[in-house]
Structure 1
Amino acid sequence: MSTLVLTLPLGSPEPAAEYGYTLTADGHTATRHASAPAALLPDPGRAGETVAVVPAHALSWQRVTLPQGALSQAPRLRAILEGLLEERLLDDPALLHFALQPGASNGTPAWVAVCDRAWLRGALQALEAAGRPVDRVVPEAAPGPTASGQVECTVLGTPEDALAVLCGHGPHQAVAVLPLASAPALLPPAGGDADPAPVRAEPAVAALAERVLGRPVQIQTASQRMLDAARGDWDLAQFDLASSGRTRALRKLGSAANAFLRAPQWRAARWALGLAVAVQVVGLNAWAWQERQALAAKQAGVRGALTQTFAHVKVVVDAPVQMERELAQLRQAAGSMAPRDLEPLMAAAAGALPASRMPAQIEYASGELRLRGMALAPEELTALNQALAAQGFSARMQDEALLVRAEGQP
C-alpha cells in the first residue's frame, strides 16, 4: 500500500498552488518526491493513504487541563476547549481549528494544536476537489519526548528567512518556532561530556545553520521530514473536519498492516512469522503423511484378512462389506443364524421381558424386531436393556413400539 505525503501550502488555496509531496511504500523510504499542483499529484492507489502535513509555523500549541467528564461529552468538547483557551488566543476562537493530543485524559495536562480554520478547511477541500482527498492531517513538528531525549533542532527555509524548529523544548517538551538567530540561546551549549543536542538542517540552510549555531548539522531533506511527520500519532482532522470513527479505524488498521508488511523495523518480525508459518505447514504435512500411512496400513490389513480368509475373493472393493457378505453365506450354508435374524431376536426378547408382558403385534424387517403394545416404564426399559446387553442386543421405544436389534447395528 502506497502513502502520499504532502505539505499544505500557506495562503489561500489556488488551483496552481504547488504541493511538495513524497510517495512511499513503507513509510520510511521515498520512492518519489517532487512538487506539483493538486490536480497533478500522484495517485497512492485505491488502498493507499494520503497524509497532509501542516507546516510547523502554521500551528500554535496550547497546554490545557480538561475538566472531569469533558471527553465523555464529545459534542461539547470543542466548546469546552474554546472556553479554556479564549483568554490565551489573539484571534476569535470561532475562526480557529483545534485538535486535541492523542490519548488525552480528563484532569491531566494535554496539548492542543491551533491553526487557522478557514485555511485548513480550504486546503483540504481543494485537494478533495482535485481527486486527492486527505485521510490524515499531521503536524510537521509535535510536542512530546524526542527520540534522543534532548532538545532537537531543525533548521528550514531559505538563507534569507531561516527558521529553527525546536522539539522537546522546556519542561513540558514543547515545540518552538523562531528565527534562526534566536536559536542558540535556547540550545544547550556545544561541547562537554554530554552528547550534543541533535541539529538537522535542509541543504539550502545547512552552512548558515553551522555558522550561526556553532556546531555541525545533519542534512535532512524536506522529504525525509515529511515522512517522519507522517509516522506520528497526531491527526489534526478533528471535530468538524473529522472522518467517521469507522473510517478512522479502517485507515489506522490499513496503516498498521502496511507498516508491518513493509517497514524496515518489522523485518525481523516478518521473517519470524514467515518461518513459524513454514514450520507449521511442514509439520502439518508430515503429520498428515503419517496419518495417511497408518490408514493405508490398516486398510491393507483388512484387505489381507479378507483375501487370506476367503481365498476365492480376488477383487477387493469394500473389504468390511465383502467380509460380512461372505460370513453370511457361510452361516447360511452351515444352517446357523446371525444375531440379526428373527429367531435370535425373539429368543433374546422373550428371555429379557417380564413374564406378564406380551406383545400385541410382532413385526420383523431389516434385522429389527418391533413388538407393539409394549408400553414399558423407564425403569422397566432400563432393566430390559441390562438383560439384553449381556446377549449382545439392545432395545428402545420408537413409535409406541419396542424396537429390539443387535448391538453395533446402524
Structure 2
Amino acid sequence: MSTLIIALPLSSGDTTTRYEHVLTPEGQSIAVHATSTANLLPDASRGADETVAVVPAEALSWHRVELPKGVGAGSPRLRPVLQSLLEDRLLDDPQDLHLACEPSPAADRPIWIAACDKAWLSQHLQRLEAARRPVTRIVPEFAPHSGALRLQVLGEADRAQMLLSGSDVAGGVVRLPLNTSTLAAIAGPDGLPERSELLAEPAVAALAEERLQRPVEIQQRTQRLLIATQTPWDLAQFDLANTSRTRTLKRLLGAGQALLRAPQWRAARWGALLLLVANLIGLNAWAWKEQASWQSRRSAIDSTLTRTFPAVKVVVDAPVQMAREVATLRQATGAPSGSDLEVILSAAGAALPQGKAPSGIEYSGGEVRLKGLNLGPDELAAITAKLRPMGYGGRMDGDSLQIRMEGNR
C-alpha cells in the first residue's frame, strides 16, 4: 500500500502553506519527494492509499509521568489526569495543548507523553482534510527510545544542531546546538559511549565527523521521514482520534500490503506460495486416489450384480437393481421375504418378553403393529436389542409396538 508522508511545517496552515512530502509505494523506496500546497499533494487517484503526518521535533515536548493506579491508556479519565500531572511542567495551559501517550504503555512504570500546540496541529489537519488529503496517522519525527544513545546532526553547516535520544537522555528527545561546550557536556571526560549511534544529514556530515571525532552514518531527510512512519507511535489520540476505526483499518491494510509487496517479505511470500502449490498438488493426488478407489469398488459391485443376475445388461443403480432382482427371484421360488407377515411375527415372538402378548395385530406395507403392549423403556430397549441383529427395528406408538425391517424405514 502506497503511503503519502507529509512533514508538517512550523508555520500555521493556510492556502499558501507548502508541505514537504514523500510518496513511497511500499514503505522502503521513494517514488516522489517534493514540496507543494495541500491541494496539489498526491491523493488516492495518483497512488496515495494512506496519509501520514510527521510532527517536527521543534513542535513537540516530551514528559515522563507515572499514571495513578486504575487509570490506564483506555481510561476516559486519562486526559484530565495527564493535564493535572503536567500542569506544573508545561509553559502553556494544558487545555491549549494536544497530549498523546506512548504506544502500548506497560503498567506500573512511567510512560512518555508527547505535547504540542493543539491549535497549530488542528489547523494543519483541517487544511489537509479540506484539500481531500485526510490524515490517517500522526507520528513524531523523533521519539524517545530505550536503546543506546542516538545522536543525529541536522541542518546546515553554519547552524548545525544535534538531536539526542536514548535511554540515558532525561528529556526523551533533546535538541542542542552542535558546539564544543554542548559536546563536552554530553560526552563527559571519557567521550561518547562506544555504542552510540551517530547519524548526520549530508550537508553536515563532514562537520559532524570533525566535531565528534568519530565516523557518522549519512541519513537523508527522506529516509528519516520513512523511518518515522515505521514506529508504533500515533499522536492521533483523544479529541483527534475521531477516525480511529479508519486508522485501524488502514493499518491492517498496510500490514497486508507490506506482506504482499515489501522486499523483506519476499522469502515468506515464496514460501507461502510453494506451500500452497504443494497443498494443491497433494489435495489433487488424494482426490484422484479416492476417486480411483471409489470407481474400483463400484466396478466390483456392478460386476457382482451382472455375474449373479446375467439378465441385467445395463447397470444404473446396482443396489436398487439387485434388490429388485432378489425380490423377483423370491417371488418366483415362493421363498419368504423379511418384510412378510409371518417372518416379522416370528422375529417379534423371539424378541417379546414372556407374558407379553398383543391384543391385536395390524400389517401394512411391510410393517407390523402389535397393539395392547404397554412396554416400559427398559422392556422396549431389550426388545429392540434383540430385533436389531435380525434386521428389524421397533418403536412404540402409544400402546402399539411397530416393527419393520430397518432397511425399509
d(CA) in 2 for partners of 1:208 and 1:326?
103
| Residue 170 of structure 1: aligned partner | 168
Secondary structure, aligned partner of 2:62: strand
The aligned counterpart of 1:299 is 298
Further displaced range: 56-65 or 266-275: 266-275
Q: Which moves more between the two structures, 250-259 or 75-84? A: 250-259
2:8: which partner in 1? 8
- Letter of the aligned partner of 2:235 in structure 1? L
Q: 1:161 maps to what in 2?
A: 159
CA distance in 2, matches of 1:227, 1:69: 36
Partner in structure 2 of residue 56 of structure 1? 57
Task: Answer whether contact 1:16 1:37 (CA < 8 A) is retained.
Answer: yes
Q: Sort the Cα spacing of 1:83 and 1:210 in 2 relative to 1 into closer, same or farther, 3 A.
A: same
Change (3 A) 1:173 1:317: farther
Residue in 2 aligned with 1:309? Answer: 308
Q: Which amino acid aligns with 1:36?
A: S
C-alpha distance in 2, partners of 1:264/1:238? Answer: 32
Q: Deviations over 1:236-283 (max 9, x none)?
A: 111211235544433333333333333333333333333333333222
Q: Closer, same or farther in 2 for the Cα pair 1:14/1:185, shift >3 Å?
A: farther
Q: Quickly say closer, same or farther: Cα 1:359–1:279, change in 2 above 3 A.
A: farther
- Distance change >3 Å, CA 228–CA 401, structure 1 → 2: same
Map 1:257-406 onto structure 2 (within 5 A).
257-353=256-352, 354=354, 356-365=356-365, 367-398=366-397, 401-406=400-405
Q: Does the 8 Å contact 2:391/2:406 carry over to 1?
A: yes
In structure 2, distance between residues paired with 1:159 and 1:351:
110
Over 3 Å counting, the alpha-carbon distance change for 1:91 and 1:171 in structure 2 is: closer
Aligned residue for 1:181? 179
Partners of 2:103 and 2:356 in 1: CA distance? 85
Q: How far off its partner does 1:134 sit?
A: 0.8
Distance 1:295 1:273 in 2: 32
Question: 1:314–1:186: structure 2 CA closer, same or farther, 3 Å change rule?
Answer: farther
Which deviates the most, 189-198 or 90-99? Answer: 189-198
Tell me, in whole angstroms, the C-alpha distance in 2 between the residues paired with 1:257 and 1:383: 62
Q: Is the 8 A contact 1:5 1:50 kept in 2?
A: yes
Give 1:94 shift.
1.9
The TM-score normalised by the length of structure 1 is: 0.89
- Matching residue of 2:29: 29
SS at match of 1:395: strand
Aligned CA distance change for structure 1 residues 22 and 245 (closer, same or farther; 3 Å): closer
Gaps of 5+ in 1: none
5 Å-filtered alignment, 1:42-191, equals: 42-44=42-44, 48-71=49-72, 74-146=75-147, 150-168=148-166, 170=168, 172=170, 174-181=172-179, 184-185=183-184, 188=187
Partner of 1:17: 17
Which residue identity lines up with residue 236 of structure 1 in the other structure? L
Contact 1:153 1:198 in 2 (8 A): yes
Matched residue type, 2:237: Q
**Residues 218 and 89 of structure 1: CA distance in aligned 2, closer, same or farther (over 3 Å):** same
CA drift of 1:54 comes to 0.4
Separation (CA, whole Å) in 1 of partners of 2:390 and 2:83 = 90
Residues 343 and 210 of structure 1: is their aligned pair in 2 closer, same or farther, counting only changes over 3 Å? Answer: same
Q: Percent sequence identity over matched residues?
A: 48
Range moving further from structure 2, 12-21 or 184-193: 184-193
Instruction: Using the TM superposition, give the Cα deviation of residue 225 of structure 1 relative to its aligned residue in structure 2, in angstroms.
Output: 0.7
Contact 2:73 2:101 in 1 (8 A): no
Q: Relative to 1, partners in 2 of residues 1:272 and 1:193: Cα closer, same or farther, differing over 3 Å?
A: farther
Structure 1 residues 359 and 25: alpha-carbon distance in aligned structure 2, compared to 1, 3 A threshold: farther
- Seen in structure 2, the aligned counterparts of structure 1 residues 106 and 339 have a Cα distance that, compared at 3 Å, is closer
Q: CA deviation at 1:126?
A: 0.8
- RMSD, aligned α-carbons: 2.9
The answer to whether the 8 A contact 1:3-1:44 is kept is no
Q: 1:196: Cα distance to partner?
A: 6.4
Shift of 1:392: 3.2
1:29: how far off? 2.1
Q: Judge which range, 380-389 or 303-312, deviates more.
A: 380-389
What are the ranges of 5 or more consecutive residues in structure 2 without an aligned counterpart? Answer: none
- Name the counterpart of 1:199: 198
**CA–CA separation in structure 2 for the residues paired with 1:115 and 1:60:** 7
Distance 1:385-1:189 versus aligned 2 partners, 3 A rule: same
* One-letter code aligned to 1:268: A
* Displacement of 1:233: 1.2
Write the distance in 1 (CA, Å) between the matches of 2:134 and 2:345: 84
- Given the superposition, is the C-alpha separation of residues 272 and 194 from structure 1 closer, same or farther in structure 2, using an over 3 Å criterion? farther
Q: Is the 8 A contact 1:151 1:187 kept in 2?
A: no
Whether the aligned pair in 2 keeps the contact of 1:2 and 1:44 (CA below 8 Å) is no
2:275 partner amino acid: A
Q: Which amino acid aligns with 2:132?
A: G
CA contact (8 A) 2:163 2:175 kept: yes
Give the TM-score normalised by structure 2: 0.89
Distance in 2 of aligned mates of 1:120 and 1:193: 36
Bigger Cα displacement from structure 2, 318-327 vs 42-51? 42-51
